[in-house]
Structure 1
Amino acid sequence: MFDLEPSDFFQCKKCGDCCKGYGGTFVSEDESKAIAEFIGEDPERFISGYCRISGGKPLLAQGPDGYCIFWDRLCTIHPVKPRMCREWPFIKSVLADIRNWEIMAQMCPGIKVNMPDDAIKTYLQKALTTGYPHPMKRSI
């Protein structure tokens, strides 16, 4: 039906807007251990030192500027960044309500707008269910 590439929907501008605010980034136990190891921190102290708890789950902390504490003009934990970051903007909430794509595009200059809803849904479904390639290998 649609023969589209990730770049038809999104091209990272390396601006860091996705690393600022907007509810935060949840980290799993495995992700927190990987990040702790990557930065040379004791995994037992990682959550208390680098996260805040929301709804009983750890979120990466934000600095006074509202950015993720691991943002310094680029992602300083890029090789081990959480799934939520790796998948952006190809996330489940867009499948739940296609209007979320347009809302996200208002804060992310890399998200392309005026795409057919069916094309977005088809691509996202494929990306989320099969791990279909999308632009994860970027330097943010």
Structure 2
Amino acid sequence: MSQTSLDIERYKELAQQKQGEHRKFLATLKKKAPKNLDKIVQEVHQEVFAEIDCTACANCCKTLGPLFTEADIQRIAKHFRMKLGAFEEAFLKVDEDGDKIFKTMPCPFLGEDNLCSIYDVRPKACREFPHTDRKKIYQINNLTIKNTLFCPAAYLFVEKLRARLS
């Protein structure tokens, strides 16, 4: 079900309303996860992304900057045929935690069409977001809850997982 745009504010409202319920549900997974949880997580993840078109949203690219690993920086700088220092100076800054992040948001590589101009070489954090296909999903409960506030797919993932395991 591809959409031209997603109502991000509506999803954020729903996520805020259900944060407590979601937190409780995810906490139960930590205590007594079904043996086949990883398989169920993969199935629900695929179901969600068959329904949600990220290019109808791109909220992560507009609001959440990824952390850059050294491998990310090398790969993307090489893609642009730039020296590492020049790439970092042009696009990155070091945050209060010592992590390399974008100087400005939205992502400078996000097009007007919500497509990533460096998709094939994008940072690892971008490739893995919203982390809803992780093994042992209960190890990242706080991150999952946080992501529901920014990502309609993460919200839908928790809702569908909860329905599936209830």
TM-score category (smaller protein):
0.5 to 0.7
Aligned partner of residue 100 in structure 2, secondary structure: strand
Counterpart of 2:71 in structure 1 is 30
- Among 93, 96, 105, the alignment partner of 2:148 is 105
Aligned partner of residue 54 in structure 2, secondary structure: coil
**Structure 1 residues not aligned, in runs of 5+:** 121-140
**AA aligned opposite 1:71:** L
Aligned partner of residue 98 in structure 1, secondary structure: helix
Aligned partner of residue 89 in structure 1, secondary structure: coil
Relative distance call for 1:115 and 1:101 in structure 2 (3 A) is farther
**AA aligned opposite 2:141:** I
Counterpart of 1:88 in structure 2 is 129
Q: For 1:74 and 1:61, locate their aligned partners in 2 and report how far apart those are by CA, in whole Å.
A: 20
**AA aligned opposite 2:151:** C
Aligned partner of residue 49 in structure 1, secondary structure: helix
Residue 47 of structure 2 is aligned to residue 8 of structure 1: yes
- Deviation beyond 2 Å, 4+ runs, structure 1: 1-6, 8-13, 94-103
Residue 85 of structure 2 is aligned to residue 44 of structure 1: yes
> Which structure 2 residues correspond to residues 52-71 of structure 1 after superposition, within 5 A?
52-54=93-95, 55-62=97-104, 66-71=105-110
Residues 61 and 68, structure 1, Cα contact 8 Å, conserved in 2: no
State the identity %.
23
Cα offset for 1:47?
Answer: 0.9
Residues 92 and 101, structure 2, Cα contact 8 Å, conserved in 1: yes
Cα offset for 1:18?
Answer: 0.9
Report the count of equivalent residues: 115
Relative distance call for 1:59 and 1:107 in structure 2 (3 A) is same
Cα offset for 1:106?
Answer: 2.8
Cα-Cα RMSD: 2.8
Q: For 1:95 and 1:81, locate their aligned partners in 2 and report how far apart those are by CA, in whole Å.
A: 26
Residues 109 and 116, structure 2, Cα contact 8 Å, conserved in 1: yes
Greater Rg by CA? 2
Q: TM-score, normalised by structure 2?
A: 0.57
Counterpart of 1:137 in structure 2 is none
Note the alpha carbon deviations across 1:29-88, whole angstroms, 9 max, x for none.
1210110111232223111111011122211232xxx31111112111111111100001
Note the alpha carbon deviations across 1:60-119, whole angstroms, 9 max, x for none.
232xxx311111121111111111000011178x644525434422321223141345x7
Q: For 2:102 and 2:141, locate their aligned partners in 1 and report how far apart those are by CA, in whole Å.
A: 27
Residues 61 and 69, structure 1, Cα contact 8 Å, conserved in 2: no
**Structure 2 residues not aligned, in runs of 5+:** 1-35
More helix by share: 2
